[in-house]
Structure 1
Amino acid sequence: MSDRLKTRIGNLELSGPLLNASGCGGTGRELAQFFELSRLGAFVTTSVMSQPRAGRPTPRAAEAPAGLLTAMGLPGPGIEGFLERDLPWLAEQDVPLIVSIAGNTAEEFAELARRLRAVPGVAAIEVNTACPNVEDRGRMFAWHPGAAASVVGAVRAAARPGVPVLAKLAPDVTDITTVALACADAGADGLTLINTVEGMAIDPTTLRPALTGVSGGLSGPAIRPIAVRCVYQVHAALPDMPIIGVGGVATGLDALEFVLAGASAVAVGTTLFHDPTAVPRILRELEEALSARRMRLADAVGLAHRPAGYVPPQVRPEPQAVQAPLDAAAADPGEAKERLP
């Protein structure tokens, strides 16, 4: 992968900025049928919980305009099944591994982090704060700065020192920067923005909610402007905090938009459901976009925050290439006129 695409998330160095979004890469084996996982900067697991879960009953997915509405219920094998079956295979792949974890209490999150502490091959932990908080009557941790911070702090204390802890935040809040600041104060080394946007659909045939969970999470291109706005706002408040931008990425220019807003890396989610080969294409398109602008990815991070008229050093034209003819004309206007066709 080109050096132009190298990036960092905390102390984790990535060969490229493109990741899969949690829940959109299966166990990794599914994506590996279509491209080498090493094309990813890192592989992000589906959120792992303490116990196996079958998830919500069907129907748990419905198409929406420019997106997908889902209420999966975090199905998975639980931490024991993950450590026994999925992690050994993933550890053999040539790609850093970010393990997403989810729980109902801060203590459950902390226990998951402790279980991963001694496991080799875990490059980072992503804390899915968009989980029910049973201590607060089922409301999500991500909806409250204090609740989100308590989960992040518990994971940071339990995780292996040096392993970055990333907080994944939900956009359904009054001010996402307040939640982000609370997570940063609690020890988050990076942020993933955003999780799905809560929504619902009603089936005109059954006259009932289209999902058994009534509401679900909206993903896909429909939420990209929301996600870009969240990344931009949080980067403005925390310019040194690494951000993984996620939400409706389908092209290299989509990814570049997140980078310009302030993301150091970008995750692809819903696109993989209808085009599992998308990662190499998006990566190529992003590199071409950066090359056309004569920039490295690191130079583009947060560039949209620069004052109007700011030009990165890599983009400035060679002064001599345009100055020489102008100087000649200025020295002898008549001579310059004679040379005109």
Structure 2
Amino acid sequence: MGFAGIPWPPWRWWREKSPRPRPGRRRAKGMPDSGLKGWKVRGEDGSLGAAVFVDFDNLYYGLLSELFQRDHKKTLEASENLLNTLREELKERNLAIVLGRSYSAFDEFPGSEAAHSLALMGFDPQYIVRHKGKNSADLQLSLDLMEVLLTRKDIDVFVIVGGDRDFIPVSRKVLEARRELLIASLPENTSGDLLDRVGSERFLDLSALLEFPEEEEEGEIEEVEGSPREAQPIAAHHSQLKWEPLSDEEAFSPERKDRVLRFLFDLSKRYEEKHGKGEVWLSPFLKNEMPEYFPDLTHPQRRRLINILKEEGKIEIVERKNENGPFPFSVVLLNNEHPRVKDLLTA
């Protein structure tokens, strides 16, 4: 007992007067009691909270070039239908969308035509400024996702509709925060580096969710409402919703080798006209041109593809002295004496 009847040491008195914590409740170290007050990670039905971020231009132009032969009207309709089908697919996976955003230059086509539908579906349009044919959607999407990741503890799963290589850093941050990630994209528009870094189990193949309307042939009997149909929704076949990185046969096929040789030839001609030398620097070629021209390959596959062409004698890698710095650099040169290179150049 201390002075004037006050227990000593003083924390004994505080401990006796303070209410004991209820059993079964533990508080994270350094976090106040109100840190998660009012936040509910799981819904009443056991669903997980999901945030969906849509790179609309990436989705639209992927469908336009690959599946709908430059038909803008059909592509716009297919993009909106695909996002609506994605909502149903996420619901089947027990994910409740608590936040949705879409990114595009909404003052011009195609964003201007899709903004209303996106807002009604719950993907709030976020205006993006376009610069010289490319907008800043990737950057703005990543910044917004990071803000939500740090401030919204009620969101368990982050869904990115887009497969650009620029999403690798933000995807890594999501996984480091012990949240789950889902990349929903078309295979043709998905970076092999992103697929390799995040894992194919976290990818959703949007082409498997596409529904193509069947055109009625002349003389075909119109179906009566309620009559049975043989066709089933594609979304029901979950085995089609994932894909794996390219196999060695696909990644290093003769056709792909020829594409690399033609690409090197075009680059060398372009550099010769611009700089007076037709030499392609190896490092920028692997880091910049190759990922853009072959997005479906991973970085190790691209390096191996160059090494295979070198072993076959179709290209040469020569070291040059750097006149502006202490370190030498390497250039890629076509072997014009190789029979296959000769055939491609003459063709």
TM-score by length of 2: 0.29
The structure with the largest alpha-carbon Rg is 2
Higher relative contact order (CA 8 A, sep 6+): 1
Answer 1 or 2: which has greater helix percent: 2
